[in-house]
Amino acid sequence: MKIKRIEHIAIAVGDLDSMARIMSDKLGIEVEYAEEIGGRTRLAMLPVGQSYVELLQSLQPGSNTDKWVKEKGDSLYHICFEVEDIDAALAELKAKNTPLLNEEPVIGHGNCRIAFIDPKATGNILFELAEMPAEKAGH
């Protein structure tokens, strides 16, 4: 599988607006865009070089992100790798008997095709794979 770069590092937060202000006021990192995914999650992308910091706020009580924040507070949630071909990447992982949370890609942030690897296979670290839409590849 060809991993192109760290696409983003996700931080789960209880209050996205408050954390976005902290990032702006303290670190000078501004929100490039924000979106809501499926009425479940609110996210904001903050560019840092060729990668992003992604802020995630659950809009759904009891969701994985909501449970994470209640258990651990605002903290690192996952690391996302940009891949050239997510279908080939998933096929390679399946061939290596790597358990996946998504057997097939789903649509994620910015219309990326994404899939998550089961953290049981990666030392309890949650990794996301993302294939960028053609118009955003390598942004």
Total-model pTM? 0.92
For the residues 86-95, what does the mean pLDDT come to?
A: 98
Protein fold of 3-131 = 2,3-Dihydroxybiphenyl 1,2-Dioxygenase; domain 1 (3.10.180)
pLDDT at 39: 87
* DSSP-assigned states of every residue in 21-67: HHHHHHH-PPP-EEEEETTTEEEEEEEETTEEEEEEEESSTTSHHHH
Q: What is d(CA 119, CA 117) in angstroms, rounded to the nearest whole number?
A: 6
Contact 93, 83 (CB under 8 A): no
Please report where in the chains the tokens 């605002």 appear, as a residue: 74
In the predicted structure, residue 137 carries a pLDDT above the cut 80: no
pLDDT at 38: 84
pLDDT at 83: 98
Amino acid at 79: I
For the residues 84-101, what does the mean pLDDT come to?
A: 97
